Amino acid sequence: MKKLIALLLVVSSALLSGCATGKKFSDAKSTLPPLAADQGRIYFYRITAVGAAVQPAVKINGEKIGTAKPGGFFFVDRAPGNYQVETSTEVKRQLSLTLEKQQTRYVRLNLAMGFFVGHVFPELVDDATGEKEIAKCKLVTPK
């Protein structure tokens, strides 16, 4: 019985350590730097803790900008233009989006079951959905 309890503690602490630990979006939003006049902002967030061990890099146009941490969010500011968002585990998943000047976009990082491991894939969501879902996510260090 003691071995079972010890095993459960180890497993649960491993799962929880993979989750985001910063300030909630609702608390952090007012402390985020203002958006420059010639830039747009893209928020990336992952609302589910299912598959917590699967935390692939998130890339824009081939550049790593963060990690898909469960319950976490981060953002990047970029010039207007077309961007390719990519995540990769055993399968590469991509999303194309266009960013306008002073525009805010929300990319939810979803989890789908794979053959060997889960796949995290980016999905562009509308502003109302993004604002609602990101509210409870916690700020993570982007890279």
59-103 residue pLDDT tens: 999 999 998 899 999 999 999 999 999 998 777 889 999 999 999
The matching CATH number, chosen from 1.10.260.40, 3.30.70.260, 3.40.50.2000, 2.60.40.1120, for 2-139 is 2.60.40.1120
Instruction: Report pLDDT for 8.
Output: 33
In DSSP terms, 82 is beta-bridged to 98
Helix/strand/coil percentages in the chain, nearest 5: 20, 40, 40
| 85 and 94 Cβ atoms separated by less than 8 Å | yes
Domain spans, the chain: 2-139
Residue 93, token pair as written in the block: 């998943």
Average per-residue pLDDT for the chain? 82
Split at pLDDT 50, 70, 90, the class of 57 is confident
In DSSP terms, 76 is beta-bridged to 42
Query: 109 Cβ partners below 8 Å, 6+ apart?
Result: 44, 45, 46, 58, 68, 87, 120, 121, 122, 123
Can you tell me the mean pLDDT for 4-17?
A: 37
Backbone dihedral angles phi then psi of residue 109, each to the nearest 5 degrees: -100, 105
Instruction: Report pLDDT for 112.
Output: 77
pTM comes to: 0.81
d(CA 64, CA 87): 10
Instruction: Report pLDDT for 105.
Output: 98
d(CA 52, CA 69): 7
State yes or no: pLDDT of 56 exceeds 70: yes
